[in-house]
Amino acid sequence: MSRAAPIGVFDSGVGGLSVLAELRRALPHEDFVYLGDTAHLPYGARPGEEIRELTGRAVADLHARGVGAVVVACNTASAYSLEHLRARFEMPIIGLVPALKPAVAATRTGVVGVLATPGTLRGTLLQDVIHTFAEPAGVRVLTAVSAELVPLVEAGQADGEQTRAVLREVLAPLVEAGADQLVLGCTHYPFLAGSIRAEFGDTFALLDSGAAVARHTRNVLHHAGLLGDRQERGKVAYLVTGDVDAARPVFDALSADRAEPLHLAGTGG
């Protein structure tokens, strides 16, 4: 692995762009290769073994392209695949952990909500975090689950009326229970912040893992001696496994660096 090697970022689709934005803020001089497995999204309803297989295939593709580390910017993939990936690849593999710890520390009502995908809810990672941070503090954790929200974000409808209708339905029980913190347990969900605010105002403080993962990635690469030493702004190559033309407008709309040209290409993954 070389200090000049780019950093791979993987998600099932466009959700990982929210993490990529934080990574580029924390590591502005590093190059990145972003891979969205748009041919197989959403991951949330797929069996665990299939999620591991798809994630492993994507990380192998990034490894073959010369990345020096991979950030698995997908909560569902992280919940099922991190142990297997770290046993298979010698490069650093960084995953996501739901931002429950800061939510527990910040709650005034003692009730925290987690907006998750079915896959994240089925995995053990969320339950492990609840056992570690919420239960000892006596904080009640409620989950809101939807299989519809990820496809809506992928379709460019994060601010659409159908999306808001789904949010009203799944988050209303959390409001009734008194939750004052909402953990966004999927990298697609930060793109729903505007719709959540429009429907619920300041009822919830919204928390996601992006900034914390970016800081952790910087620390991991620093200790591994993999941070580059150049001063110019890093670049990003974007790859999708599905239809490039269909993905392009959504990637363009959700990319944090809209002033930069979007170089989006397909991959055989």
Please indicate if the annotation marks 11 as binding a ligand: yes
Dump pLDDT digits (tens) for 170-227. 999 999 999 999 999 999 999 999 999 999 999 999 999 999 999 999 999 999 988 8
Does the active-site annotation cover 57?
no
Q: Facing residues of 264 across strands?
A: 238
Contacts of 255 (CB under 8 A, 6+ apart): 17, 262
Which has more pLDDT, 4 or 209? 209
Active-site residue (options: 7, 20, 69, 74): 74
Which has more pLDDT, 193 or 266? 193
Beta strand 264-266 pairing with 236-240: parallel
Please indicate if the annotation marks 75 as binding a ligand: yes
Sorted by where each starts, the structural domains of the chain and their CATH numbers stand as 7-96+210-266 (3.40.50.1860), 100-207 (3.40.50.1860)
Active-site residue (options: 41, 158, 186, 240): 186
Mean pLDDT check: name the lowest of 134-138, 223-227, 252-256: 252-256
Beta strand 111-116 pairing with 140-145: parallel
- pLDDT of the residue at 228: 80
The pLDDT-based confidence of 259 (bands split at 50, 70, 90) is very low
Average pLDDT, the chain: 92
Dump pLDDT digits (tens) for 67-113. 999 999 999 999 899 999 999 999 999 999 899 999 999 999 999 99
Q: Facing residues of 10 across strands?
A: 35, 72
**Other C-beta atoms lying within 10 Å of the C-beta of residue 124:** 11
d(CA 224, CA 1): 10
pTM for the full model? Answer: 0.90
Tokens 């995995």 -> residue: 123
Q: Which two tokens stand for residue 181?
A: 């913190």
The pLDDT-based confidence of 4 (bands split at 50, 70, 90) is confident
- pLDDT of the residue at 268: 65
Nearest to 211 by CA among 46, 96, 45: 96
The pLDDT-based confidence of 1 (bands split at 50, 70, 90) is low
Please indicate if the annotation marks 44 as binding a ligand: yes
Dump pLDDT digits (tens) for 38-78. 999 888 888 999 999 999 999 999 999 999 999 999 999 99
DSSP H helices, the chain, are 17-26, 48-64, 75-88, 100-106, 118-122, 124-129, 135-137, 149-154, 161-177, 193-200, 210-223, 244-254
**Other C-beta atoms lying within 10 Å of the C-beta of residue 170:** 18
Please indicate if the annotation marks 76 as binding a ligand: yes
Span 27-35, average pLDDT: 95
Taken as a whole, the chain contains a residue count of 269
Please indicate if the annotation marks 188 as binding a ligand: yes
* Residue-wise DSSP of 105-166: HH-SSSEEEEEE-HHHHHSHHHHHHIIIIIHHHT-EEEEEE-SSHHHHHHTT-TTSHHHHHH
Does the active-site annotation cover 186?
yes
The CA-atom distances, in angstroms, between 60 and each of 23, 63, 78, 173, 176 are 21, 5, 15, 41, 45
- The answer to whether residues 113 and 181 touch, using CB atoms and an 8 Å cutoff, is yes
